[in-house]
Chain A
Amino acid sequence: MSFPLLTATAALPAIGAIVTAAVPAARSRSDGDGPRGSGTAKVVALLFSVATFVLAMTVLVRFEPGGARYQLTESYDWIPAFGVRYELGVDGIGVALIALTALLIPFVILAGWRDADHLENSSRRWRPTQGFFALILMVEAMVILSFEATDVFLFYLFFEAMLIPMYFLIGGFGDRASGTDEAQAATQRSYAAVKFLLYNLAGGLIMLAAVIGLYSVAGTFSLSEIAQARADGTLEMAASTEKWLFLGFFFAFAIKAPLWPLHTWLPNAMGEATAPVAVLITAVVDKVGTFAMLRFCLGLFPEASKWATPVVLVLALVSIIYGALLAVGQRDIKRLVAYASISHFGFIILGIFAMTSQGQSGATLYMVNHGLSTAALMLVAGFLISRRGSRLIADYGGVQKVAPVLAGTFLVGSLATLSLPGLAPFVSEFLVLVGTFTRYPVIGIIATVGIVLGALYTLVLYQRTMTGPVKPSVAKMPDLKVRELAVIGPLIALLLFLGVYPKPLTELVDPAVGHTLSDVQQKDPKPDVEAAK
């Protein structure tokens, strides 16, 4: 038996979480010199996340894009009574997203280095720093497992279980409130956390009903066995059953993704959480939703997916436009990024359900690139907010004169968010639009409005916060520190690299997309393209 690489990749952050949580409590000093003892926990968490990244890179290297559909597979019986197997395997899409997750977590940890510090000196007996970083690692473990699971039940398990650490991250750790009433901030935080949990739990429970339904129809949870049964023609699934099951799964993923009109938890959650946690939500956890649409909705219910396509495309379109419009109108930086994300998730879902190879490759690339670009923008925004203690756009102005490096990186993040050519998101957005246009020209054209609006909200955000006369409140704002540069530098480099040379990523993803398309028995509409010429 070979080394269980996939299990190890997921187990390492889980072990890291336990070790981090076990680091002895900080001795908070009474002389106001700040906490010291919790530093160990941070370092431990960072080391584990970096080690996980190394393992994820090993997965990336060991994976052969042209090889079997699911590679590095592991399979053990777990609960035979329920037909549940511990079955892992990755395809190109999974590898790309695991790599993204493992890449982002060290930056999230580094960016959130001081996020729990202000809780450390409160007289409470809990251990905020250890808790904060342990929870982040726990989320990482569960996200990676849900990218790896090729057993529907196993996937469901981690899909649901990741809500718990996420919930505590949102509800337990907010920005250091300055000026605003701490009690009010706590109320808003717990509201956001509960909203997050209830939305996702409701989605998950609906999915549970569909998971049970799937089992009673197929008699197994294993993706490969179901695919085999479908190929042999032994899988008898009535059309109406398939539609209901599809809806059950899709509902859960649409909440997680989030798709309009199930998106309303995201702005609250991202607004109240600290910037690194917001990145964790939108760049990592939400990707499980779109990933699962590709793997489970399309893979398990091809006919129902085609049946639902028109509605899903329209909802995706509404998400793109609606998210962008609301982003334009936001006064709160974090909520603006949240609405921008809703718009971007619209693009991803559009690409998935366009059912073309460009569309789906683009959507997968989009997941990775959106992760990188949002992380860049949100983390710099977080650095900005931590300096001034306010999330309101109106509280800033002229920052580029005071802190040029901060403003510059913020600009790059903004430009990446609006998909400027030369930066990675451009490639994916372009592919999604091309892929959509070849099959649904009208929808493709309307979707481009989202790009224009994207330019509007990002540039207006930059203009209002960074340019113009220097506001007195930001006059003494320090520029980025080394730790912050270490976070933002690599992200920008990667955005540039993948913008110029996206080939490694597309090569990784394309075969997997081909498999998914053959699941739904769709081919690219070549004749249409020729007719258009």
Chain B
Amino acid sequence: MNANAVHTLWTSAAADPISKIPSPTIEYAQLAPVMIVIGAAVIGIVVEAFAPRRARYHIQLWLTVVALGAAFASVVALAVGGYATTKQTSVAMGALAVDGPALFLQGVILLSGVLAAFTFAERRLDRAHGKRVDSFVAQAGAVPGSEAEQAAVKAGFATTEVFPLMLFAVGGMIVFPAANDLLTLFIALEVFSLPLYLMCALARRRRLMSQESAVKYFLLGAFSSAFLLFGIALLYGYSGSVSYAVIADVVDGTLISNDPVLAQTMGNDALLLIGMALVLMGLLFKVGAVPFHMWTPDVYQGAPTPVTGFMAAATKVAAFGALLRLLYVVLPGMRWDWRPVMWGVAIATMVVGAIVAVTQTDVKRLLAYSSVAHAGFILAGVIAATPAGVSSVLFYLAAYSFVTIGAFAVVTLVRDAGGEATHLSKWAGLGRRSPLVAAVFAVFLLAFAGIPLTSGFSGKFAVFSAAAEGGAGALVIIGVLSSAVAAFFYVRVIVLMFFSEPRADGPTVTVPSPLTMSVIGVGVVVTVVLGVAPQYFLDLAGQASVFVR
């Protein structure tokens, strides 16, 4: 059954008898990644309810990693099976696309998920009552500072719910860039946002700050969801459908329906423009683009660092995937309308992100603003509106997510009595005390700064050259200048670590378990490999750059 038939069903079905509803066709094989992840999340909830407390941690960790690994394997199988290139298709009655960009980004998100799960499970960094504990609150329901909290800590409770929560988030995220109609897009957005709001509130240390960040994120996120939903309604009014393909046809003028119900609104450009703006707003919020970036610093700072790393990497990948699909599949005919706006957003994002980051004194806030600046660089590639633009963005996202998770994993290691020492002044002289950790962090910072032979450079070069070829030369110049500003604050951190005298009361670097070590190790290896020999991955992204319509 094709998409059009479904939509006529939704729009003019009132007159038809119920018996005409066909049974939906579900392509289980192509939906396997999503179903594995969501299924594992549901099992995780059951484990949480029935498994004994002591066993939960190990069960959850194994379940999560195995599920993510299996989902990744099925993504790879689909890609090898040609679904990324020749056999690309849309499944579940047109709701989800199985094509190159979707599979590529799903792969990236799943791998980020595995790494994030490792950092979630890290238990050697912090201690409470002599027990090794992870970064999450003992009992989320206990009021901070209350006796109930102390009792929970003393009893050694652990919030193993984060694992199923993360699986749900990953499940939403892998649907998000594959969503092929606006409703699926919205549902995926909610599915990954709600667990994230929750996880932000679960920090073991500095709980009030963590909860505050969650509330901020939730309120602003709810607003942006409302915008998105309103935009979807308007676009439906415009085209009589929520399907990307149908909207694109209406935009092109190839599909003209004479449905009496929609006669008033169909093809009304005002609806299209406003609807498009509202939907873009919702997506740009998740991406963290200026002027929708206000939540990033507070949330990045307040959330437990493993969650921040996961969020910074995977959310960005998912949201950019959805943005790409929306702009390239639904609105290519509207390029002349959205380009100036996106230009403005990209320029503002690069400039504001880079300049405001200069004044930051907290390493997590610094990385937050740096993520804003990076969103701007990626937007430059999005704006290119060419296949090279798509592949460059895909590559950039892959490169960026590994650097980000690695960098936040390093942040979790630097600790003093109050937990993680995120204030930059405490990082002074870290290179003298722990040369290895400082060197690794320097590698990540250099990658963020886009120094050659790191993945950051390959990514930046890819998006900028795509933008230049797509006729956005001015954007490239501004991007390069903001990179110069951005380089300043990355370098400042390196200076601080290597050339400043260590403080007497400075933090110590805790030796982590193999979990975090492997995360950081993978981060460094990917950073260097994508910097020195990126060809294979560029090819991969290049092959994966065609959207199904």
Q: Which residues does A use to contact B, with CB under 8 Å?
A: 77-82, 124-126, 156-158, 160-161, 163-164, 167-168, 171-172, 183, 186, 189-190, 193-194, 197-198, 201-202, 205-206, 208-209, 212-213, 215-216
Contact = CB atoms under 8 A, between A and B. Distances in A.
Nearest to A161: B452
A499 B233 CA distance: 83
A313 to B, nearest CB: 27
Nearest to B449: A201
B499 A161 contact: no
B538 A81 contact: yes
A161 B433 CA distance: 26
29 contacts: A78-B533, A79-B458, A81-B534, A81-B542, A82-B538, A126-B431, A157-B452, A163-B451, A164-B446, A168-B498, A171-B495, A171-B498, A172-B499, A186-B499, A186-B500, A194-B495, A198-B487, A205-B481, A205-B484, A206-B480, A206-B484, A208-B461, A208-B480, A212-B476, A213-B468, A213-B473, A215-B465, A216-B465, A216-B469
B433 A190 contact: no
Given A126-B435, A172-B499, 15 more contacts: A79-B458, A81-B534, A81-B539, A81-B542, A125-B432, A126-B432, A156-B452, A168-B498, A190-B499, A198-B484, A198-B491, A201-B487, A208-B461, A212-B476, A213-B473
Contacts of B500: 186, 190
B448 to A, nearest CB: 13
A212 B498 contact: no
Contact of A212 (B431, B451, B452, B464): B464
Nearest to A78: B535
B399 to A, nearest CB: 13
Nearest to B439: A126
A80 B536 CA distance: 10
B433, B452, B498: most-surrounded residue (chain A CB, <10 A): B452
Contacts of B533: 78-79
B212 to A, nearest CB: 35
B453 A205 contact: no
- Interface of chain A, main secondary structure: helix
A336 B480 CA distance: 34
Contacts of A160: 451-452
Contact of B535 (A80, A161, A167): A80
A209 B464 contact: yes
A216 B539 contact: no
B239 interface: no
Contacts of B451: 160-161, 163-164
A213 B480 CA distance: 12
Contact of B483 (A82, A126, A205): A205
A190 B495 contact: yes
B357 to A, nearest CB: 15
B453 A81 contact: no
Interface centre among B469, B480, B487, B539 (most CB of A within 10 A): B480
B278 to A, nearest CB: 34
Interface in B439-494: 446, 451-453, 458, 461-462, 464-465, 468-469, 473, 476-477, 480-481, 483-484, 487-488, 491-492
B462 A172 contact: no
Given A82-B538, A164-B451, A124 B432 contact: yes
A193 B492 CA distance: 11
B501 interface: yes
Contacts of A79: 458, 533-535, 538
A158 B457 CA distance: 13
Given A81-B539, A190-B495, A212-B461, A201 B484 contact: yes
